Amino acid sequence: MSKPTFYFHPFSGPCRTVSTVAKILNVEMEMKKLDLLTQEHLKPEFLKVNPFHKIPTFVDTDGFTIDESRVIAMYLLQSRKPDSFLYPNNDLKKRTQIDRWLHYDISFATIISTPMYCKFRGKPVQDHQVEQGKETLKTLDGVMASFGGKFLTGSDQITLADIAMYFSCNTMEIYSEYFKFDDYPNLKSWYQRVAEALKQYDTEGEIPKAIEMIKQFAQQRMAESAKQ
Ligand SMILES: N[C@@H](CCC(=O)N[C@@H](CS)C(=O)NCC(=O)O)C(=O)O
């Protein structure tokens, strides 16, 4: 049987959201790694697949093509296992709560990763970017104070919302100059709970390995841009 195709890079948090959901669902994909550093994503072959030149990009067996990690994950769940606890089709309020966090995560991911990407590119980090990140994290940490060991939608099980937010928060583990988990204890304990919950699906330990590899890459990249 043919498999869907997945354009990805192991360093990409959005790609990890999709591959984790695919793993949980036991969906096998034809993995096509694109090296952003050598600009493989800008080659005409890939631009034909996705003119926005973004990974992750997913091509289903019938040719249906879609990008945006959260949307790919929602599509995978709804097309393969619509009653999954990750994104239940049969519980409108639960699914709406998950959607709420997924939409929140879109801006959250940008806010907390912007200072790191400025550093990567040797661009100055602005005070307001750091202030906005700290305010966002403080509010989130305050909300999480009432979680009492639970996950984002108040349940005992992770959902797609926890997975997407977890991979956005990886940035804080990779590069902690501006935003440190120790300053946000409720966020830290939720993050650790998700990491623990994901271990049963990540049997080869690929998630921590990827985070470690990105950390090393980030350190090298920072050292190079500091020299310039
Ligand atoms: N909101 C998108 C973000 C995707 C994204 O920014 N991907 C990066 C890699 S992590 C990329 O493809 N960059 C190449 C480019 O923008 O040309 C998602 O969640 O899928």
Beta strands in the chain, from DSSP E residues, in sequence order: 5-8, 30-33, 57-59, 65-67
Q: Using only C-alpha atoms, what is the Rg of the chain?
A: 18
pLDDT digits 0-9 by tens, 14-66: 999 999 999 999 999 999 999 999 999 999 999 999 999 999 999 999 999 99
Ligand 1 contacts (CB < 6 A) are 12, 14, 36, 41, 53-56, 68-69
Virtual CA dihedral for 205, 206, 207, 213, nearest 10 degrees? 120
Among 65, 68, 60, residue whose Cα is nearest residue 14? 68
* pLDDT value at residue 141: 98
Query: How many angstroms separate the CA atoms of 100 and 162, rounded?
Result: 12
Candidate from 54, 104, 217 with most ligand 1 atoms within 8 A of CB, to mutate:
54
Ligand 1 atom 6, closest CA:
54
pLDDT in tens, 97-149: 999 999 999 999 999 999 999 988 889 999 999 999 999 999 999 999 999 98
3-state SS string for 50-75: CCCCCCCEEECCCCCEEECHHHHHHH
Q: Give 171's pLDDT tier (boundaries 50, 70, 90).
A: very high
Locate 24 and state its tokens.
């949980």
Q: Which atom of ligand 1 is nearest to the CA of 67?
A: 20
